Amino acid sequence: MIPNAENDPGPDRDDGGVPLSDGILDRMVEAIHQRHGFDVVALDMSSVPLTMEVFLLCTAANRIQARAIADHVERTARETGMRPHHVEGYDDGSWILIDFVDLVIHVFLPETRRYYGLEMLWSDLPRIVFEDAGPGGQPEDGAAPPEGTDDGR
């Protein structure tokens, strides 16, 4: 299930569990925001008979930014002792998948994210929609949810 730093299902959450420890998900979201990734959504994959617990999806404006997000996420993960099991799509940059086994991070270009529609494919799963970050990688106060996504309310 999808964790958060306080282990508290807040207003944008519709789950209640905590399998990933030490605020790892929150650190990865912060790393994405620090490189200006947007439309960040976590999908709780724990009820699906696959190996991962959480899909974390985000969007980058271009391929250079997608690679910068992937690099920063990997660097941040290594600081916590996590190592990626597998990385795909880095050279192309339109969909970069970073597999940490329990957590799989997807960095998309907008058109690639729309085309594959993972949120629609897994629309019945609990999710968290994170606020987009403002300057400095911090969430903007009163930011509207990304268009076309469920804000969980």
In this prediction, residue 22 has a pLDDT band, given cuts at 50, 70 and 90, of low
Statement: residue 134 has pLDDT above 80:
no
Statement: residue 140 has pLDDT above 50:
yes
- Residues in contact with 126: Cβ distance below 8 Å, sequence separation at least 6, in sequence order: 1, 2, 13, 14, 15, 43, 44
49 occurs within a structural domain: yes
In this prediction, residue 139 has a pLDDT band, given cuts at 50, 70 and 90, of low
56 occurs within a structural domain: yes
In this prediction, residue 136 has a pLDDT band, given cuts at 50, 70 and 90, of low
Q: What is d(CA 46, CA 68) in angstroms, rounded to the nearest whole number?
A: 28
What amino acid is encoded at 110 in this protein?
A: P
120 occurs within a structural domain: yes
Distance of CA 80 to CAs 50, 73, 75, Å? Answer: 24, 11, 9
Question: What are the tens digits of pLDDT across the range 93-125?
Answer: 999 999 999 999 999 999 999 999 999 999 999
113 occurs within a structural domain: yes
Look at residue 143 in the predicted model and tell me its pLDDT.
Answer: 45
38 occurs within a structural domain: yes
Look at residue 70 in the predicted model and tell me its pLDDT.
Answer: 98
Radius of gyration of the chain from its Cα atoms, rounded to whole angstroms: 14
Structural domain that includes position 116: 24-131
**Number of domains comprising the chain:** 1
Statement: residue 14 has pLDDT above 90:
no
Statement: residue 64 has pLDDT above 60:
yes
121 occurs within a structural domain: yes
Query: What is the CATH classification number for the domain harbouring 38?
Result: 3.30.460.10
Of 107, 118, 22, give the one whose Cα is nearest residue 72.
107
- Residues in contact with 52: Cβ distance below 8 Å, sequence separation at least 6, in sequence order: 45, 99, 101, 102, 103, 104
137 occurs within a structural domain: no
Mean pLDDT score across all residues of the chain: 81
62 occurs within a structural domain: yes
